[in-house]
Chain A
Amino acid sequence: MIFEDTDFRQELLDTENPLDVKLLQTFLKKYDFDFNPEEVDFTMIVYNLNDDIIGTGSLYKNTLKYVVIAPEFRETTAFSIVVTYLTDKGLENYKQCFVYTKPTTAKLFKALGFSLITTAEPIYAVLEFGYKTIKDYQKKLEKLKVKTVTENVAAVVVNCNPFTIGHRYLIEKASKENEIVYLFVVSENLSAFTFEVRWKLIEEGITDLKNVIMLATGPYIVSGAIFPNYFLKNESWNLVSQKQAEIDVNIFTTYIAPILNIKKRYIGSENYCLTTKAYNTAMHKILPENGIKVIEYERISVNGKDNYISASKVREAIKEDKLNEFLNFLPESTKNFLLSAESDSIKAKIKQSTARH
């Protein structure tokens, strides 16, 4: 039987209505998806004229989620109806849309015009579509690239939420041991300290390190789209986090390191957060195979060996109103900022929040 577009009806899911949500959950359960309405901004559903659900898809920011078409309707236009609607909405506010899917279904999105960024076998492939692609990010990096005479080029990726003397130590090490250091600052604004503030505190704190070039990570390194679990409230070390971390590291080795000729990546050892630990594991696994050396430094401590410096301890201290005990964790730029009224709104936000980052 051949279906026409007019045989289908599309609707938005009323997430306030538990019956509607239940209906969709039952549909998605058949295909091994646990639908959580809190993880999406909206959900669209395609029905046939019998009012059976034949397909669905959701959008969270610019990421397509839970895109499923019932097997007997996969030859129809239902799939492109769902994807067209979701990307149309996503591109209203973003330069590109991302989709995480199984490597075996990546070809369906490719056939629509999405381009494959990378895969983490056997569970994930990431694709994108829109005004900007990873090639544009590469062009941007190309412009910011600094000519070097040696191969001694390193990268450090930091969130710095907020900037501590631990971060400073790692960056300084890299700066001393290399000709050029590219310092990538996570630009996703999902952390307690905004991107602008994090950037400013780092910039002020490393003015003496002349060979360090600061860059924004854009949507491709540790972003809400590429590595969503990094920003989850509860840390986790499961297959999903591990594979998301691998996607992130694959992007770094395939698209970023070759452009800037990066041969080393500096990381701090992780003693607290399981998600960051998963990230470090992925780096140790993937980077050396691709000719990039991982240089891991133990975190530094103050007043005794066990008192490791960590940004999450600083946020914890702000939350419990005992920042004064942790001032020795902070470089001048962060200290001055946190002791000034400028940081009042951020401190208030941290006091209310339960998030990790």
Chain B
Amino acid sequence: MEILKKSQSGSFESSDIIILIEPVEPNSGRNIDIDSSVMLEYGDTIKALITSKLDSYNISDIHLIAKDKGALELTINARLETAIKRACNIQKATMH
């Protein structure tokens, strides 16, 4: 799937994560910046969640920024899914 536009999801609140996505040049790969208040302990887990979500949407070229404030796994997945759907213009039946 192709990233068509910039998108954002989540918030700066504690126990949440903010995800920013922007399109990049074709074939420039994935550029993922993660920053977390629990980086040492969970940085790799967050990275793995992002990678597997991008894999499942077949996204190979993307710039993704994640600022985490201790979000749970399901929150991270939900925020990722929303940001990706917004960026790919495939979000349905929700208000933007």
Contact = CB atoms under 8 A, between A and B. Distances in A.
A113 B12 contact: yes
A262 B84 CA distance: 42
Interface residues of A, number: 16
Interface in B23-38: 35, 37
B13 interface: yes
B20 A80 contact: no
Interface in A102-132: 111-113, 129-131
Interface string B68-87: 01000000000000000000
A84 B20 contact: no
B22 A112 contact: no
A80 B6 contact: no
A130 B20 contact: yes
A112 B63 CA distance: 20
Given A113-B18, A131-B63, A84 B35 contact: no
B67 interface: yes
25 contacts: A77-B13, A80-B11, A80-B12, A80-B13, A80-B14, A83-B12, A84-B13, A84-B18, A87-B12, A91-B6, A91-B8, A92-B6, A112-B12, A112-B67, A112-B69, A113-B18, A113-B35, A113-B67, A113-B69, A130-B65, A131-B6, A131-B20, A131-B22, A131-B63, A131-B65
Interface of B: 6, 8, 11-14, 18, 20, 22, 35, 37, 63, 65, 67, 69
